[in-house]
Amino acid sequence: MNMEQIDHKKFFYPPGGILIWMIILVELVTFTAGIGAFVWQRSLAPGLFAESQQHLSTTTGLINTLVLLTSGYFMAEAVRFLKLGETRESLRRMLAALLLGIAFLTIKGNEYAGKLAQGLDLTHDTFFTFYWLLTGFHFMHVLAGSVIISVLALKTRRGAYHQNNYLDIETGAAFWHLCDIIWLLLFPVLYLMK
């Protein structure tokens, strides 16, 4: 193989393949636009947004951040172990990532239930409209990612993925890291920005 072929392969075949990275780019642009609209609306009504933000628990948001980042770490480790030929260790990491993803969804679901019990629904005010839309869209991504990891773990357990066949695992991990990145954008904007 000459150098041109190696460079071409690296560009068009990043971890998980080019298609997942195109999806990631579109998703990041979408969330960035939503966050930009949130920041703009906040500048128009800073008092309302500050008052509404007080209904959010920074501690809950931080716990969910740590849970999701730890899950992302385990998914990265799952890919690493699979590439090393350690399928059983890879599967264990995938299951840890999945359990932490479910923990994230459970914590967020409890947070949602609390907001609804307080009457802080999608129509409460502009802050909560953005809160529900942005975090709800992210919630759906984590839910989809959890389903993806479940399928990948099951297929790994059945022997479909191994040291010489790991592209789908890389793709699933790339999507899972998208969930991390989006939450790392949402958490400070919604929970911390004053």
Global pTM value: 0.88
CA distance 65 to 69: 6
Least Cα distance to 28 among 143, 148, 138 occurs for 138
- Tell me the one-letter amino acid at 54: Q
Does the pLDDT at position 62 exceed 70? yes
CA distance 164 to 73: 22
What are the residues whose beta carbons fall under 8 Å from the beta carbon of 125, sequence distance 6 or more? 48, 52
Of 22 and 181, the structure prediction assigns the larger pLDDT to 181
Over residues 101-112, mean pLDDT = 97
Q: Whole-number mean pLDDT of the chain?
A: 90
Question: What architecture is the 16-192 domain classified under in CATH?
Answer: Up-down Bundle (1.20)
Q: What does the pLDDT look like over 118-144, one tens digit per residue?
A: 999 999 999 999 999 999 999 999 999
Q: Supply 63's token pair.
A: 């716990």
Domain residue limits, the chain: 16-192
Q: What does the pLDDT look like over 63-72, one tens digit per residue?
A: 999 999 999 9
- Predicted local confidence at residue 6, as pLDDT: 43
CA distance 181 to 138: 10
Check if the beta carbon of residue 130 is closer than 8 Å to that of residue 37.
yes
